[in-house]
Structures are given as structure tokens and as C-alpha cells.
Amino acid sequence: MAPPTAHRPPLLVRRLGRQPYVPVWQAMRALTDARDAETPDELWLLEHDPVFTLGQAGKREHVLAPGEIPVIPVDRGGQVTYHGPGQIVAYPLLDLRRLGIGVRDLVCRIEQAIVDTLAHWNIQAVRREGAPGVYVADAKVAALGLRVRRGCSFHGLAFNVAMDLEPFRRINPCGYAGLAVTQVIDLGGTSKLAEVGDVLVRELCNQFALEPQDAEPTLHRMVQAIAADPASDRRALA
């Protein structure tokens, strides 16, 4: 990717591959707590090992039959959802005050970026007032669950591309019994997560007027540095 322009601040993009849920959750919380007004915004792209996550408002009654898949209560908004291989999880770690936007605008812009991403494969998707996420017809293709602390966002979106959708039948997705779930490949799009991820990065950058910049694709050094010196300049880890 090209270096950031003078008019668009950088968005450090970390492509993390497949990761267990808890260490990534801990890392994004640590970054959010340690960052200051000069810390660059980041976007983490990854797949998770199979896991159900239950948001702060989540009710256990929406977890119907998890079986061997762990259920982890977390500090994001929303109800229960599933993460697994073949799904893009994107965590936009943004300073909302610096961007001059509020939480509602954050949600709308993320949703619109997903809608615009799907349009690259001629898939017509919509947002729904009062039901965060992105839908094609009556089926949900992407879910959102966010948290804002100290004016900065963490957690993010889950975008179904080419995955086993069976685990969604073990829950009431996002707290809605019988909610249909779909994915890019079943809608006539690509099965390649990298292709979808590249387009999603561009569309998110368009929504937030940021310039993508590749960053080190690891969490280990990042977490070590934050633990050693919470006030360290996060830009040094790019």
C-alpha cells in the first residue's frame, strides 16, 4: 500500500490470519487503554477459531445448543453471534474524537462500507434501522458489535464469506429467533477472503477518510510493548 497522503491520516492494517478469540480481545482492550491522542488508528483483519460471543446485553437463552463450541461473554454491545473460519472479522480501532464522529455515525459508516463491498460482486445489500448489521433480502450477511471507551472504538464486524453456517442454527443470531444468515459465496460472490478483505479495507478507508498502510501482522510484539510501557508511542509498532 502507498504511504499515507498529506490529506488522509494513516490507518494501520494488520492482517492477522486465524486467531483464537481471547488473546485478540485482550490485545484490542490493551491498545484502547494505552493509546493517546497521537496513536494512529488501526484495522485488524482476521478469522477466529470457532466461538460464540455473548455481548453485554446478551441473554443466555439465545444460546440454544452450543455443543463443543465455547461461549465467551464479552464487553461489546449486542447479543450472541458466531465466529469461525471463512468469516472475516474486522476490528476498527478508531479515535472517534479525532475523526469527529459519534457512535451512530460509526455504525452507519461501517455498515455502508460492507454494503459497498458487496456491490463489487453485484450483491444488493441494505442496512436496517434499529437492527445493526447488513442484510441481503431477509438474511443477515454481516453483524456488528462495538464498544467505545475513552472516545475510541474496539470490537467490530463479522462478515460471512465462505464458511460453515451450521453453528448459527445453535443460537438465535443477534438475539432474533429464526433469523436467516447468508454469506458472500452463496450470493454469487467470491469465496476468497483475501479478495473480500482488500475491498473492505478500501471501503472502510473511504468512509472514514483514512489511508491504508500495511503494518506488522502480529499481536505478540504489540502486547509485549504495551505491557512494558503503556505510555509508549504506538506508532513505533507499525
The set of catalytic residues is: 174
206 residue type, one letter:
N
Residue matched to cell numbers 500500500:
1
Sequence-distant (6+) residues with CB within 8 A of 229 are none
Q: Assess contact for 133 and 175: CB atoms under 8 A.
A: no
Nearest CA to 158 out of 196, 120, 189, 192 is that of 196
Burial class (CB in 10 A: 0-12, 13-18, 19+), 118: buried
